Amino acid sequence: MNVRDALRQTRERLQASGVDEPGFEAEYLLRYVLDCTRESILLDLDTDISPSAQCHFDSLVGRRAAGEPSAYITGHKEFYGLDFKVDPRALIPRPETELLVEMALDFASRRSTGGNGLTIVDVGTGCGTIAIAIATHLPGASIIATDISPDALQLAYENAARHDVQDRVTLLHGDLFAHLPRPIDILVSNPPYIPSTELPNLAREITHHEPRLALDGGPDGMAVIHRLIEQAKDNLSPSGAMFIEIGWDQGERAMSRAQHLWPNSQASITPDLAGLDRILTIRPPVPSALPV
Ligand code: GLN
């Protein structure tokens, strides 16, 4: 079979199985099997696919049609221009989380050259994307990345080594701020924030394959966000900041929680590229003027 027919048949098969963007997914999997770029596949539509490549492709398409996410099938996901190893030990990185990295890097660059001297922490690092992306862009920074899941930390280590930042990304097993040094200058986190009752309604790619621990934010989705704000009060440097990813409908609630849990702190919400509430930023209260 040639590339054109393989793409067409696969698109139809994936579409019939209820897969989103079936044309893109078919091409992505075929490019992975043939180990080629988008340009070359489109230039070679008449090329025949070898029987062994065809057989490999069919088995991957079968997994995709059954609902397994492409990133787990290929073991790769790009995030912030870097290639990460991904598997069911941790959540697949999402493009909207890149904003968290961008905001942390912007804040860091206004405080230090190359991140030197800053204590930067990524709480709930998963496969390590946020910490590793920050480390690769701040050559002077040391970053502590924590997770409650030992499996996720193992994967994060593999990714840190892949990007040669394993000496500057310290992985710590623990819950939220446990065992962390203080004060922290920059805290970033993509915590679980989906309400428990909504989990069964998410796409099967998520509910049947990604770790529940990385998604389940308790009854209203904000249990971990709540604890992060509470603990940040005692751990954040007076000139520091925390950046937390939130759900698209949690902006208002996150603001009022921040004001309630940490009175006078400076909280704001930043929307993602789709215009949806995405990042909660909190800075400690401005120190009051010294008495005269
Ligand atoms: N953004 C993810 C999703 O939509 C959720 C990530 C999280 O809970 N941190 O599935």
Q: What is the pLDDT of residue 84?
A: 98
Q: Is 177 exposed, middle or buried (0-12, 13-18, 19+ CB in 10 A)?
A: buried
φ/ψ region of 190 (left if φ > 0, alpha if ψ in -120 to 50, else beta) reads beta
Helix orientation angle between 22-34 and 3-16, rounded to the nearest 10 degrees: 130
Residue ranges around ligand 1 (CB below 6 Å)? 94, 190-194, 206, 215, 245
Q: What is the pLDDT of residue 270?
A: 98
User: pTM of the entire structure?
Assistant: 0.93
* DSSP class of 198: G
Q: What is the pLDDT of residue 228?
A: 95
pLDDT beneath 50: ranges in the chain: none
Of 116, 174, 118, which Cα lies nearest the Cα of 145?
174
Q: What is the pLDDT of residue 240?
A: 96
Of 216, 217, 238, 228, which Cα lies nearest the Cα of 261?
228
CA 47 / ligand 1 centre spacing (Å): 39
Pocket test for ligand 1, best of 190, 209, 273 (most atoms within 8 A of CB): 190
Q: What is the pLDDT of residue 290?
A: 57
Q: What is the pLDDT of residue 268?
A: 97
The protein residue whose alpha carbon is closest to atom 1 in ligand 1 is 94
CA 28 / ligand 1 centre spacing (Å): 23
CA 105 / ligand 1 centre spacing (Å): 22
Pocket test for ligand 1, best of 96, 208, 215, 216 (most atoms within 8 A of CB): 215
Please name the residues in contact with 22: beta carbons below 8 A apart, sequence gap of 6 or more.
10, 11, 12, 13, 14, 15
Please name the residues in contact with 272: beta carbons below 8 A apart, sequence gap of 6 or more.
96, 99, 278, 279
Using one digit for the tens of pLDDT, what is the confidence trace for 45-80? Answer: 888 999 999 999 999 999 999 999 999 999 999 999
Q: What is the pLDDT of residue 289?
A: 55
The protein residue whose alpha carbon is closest to atom 7 in ligand 1 is 192
Q: What is the pLDDT of residue 236?
A: 95
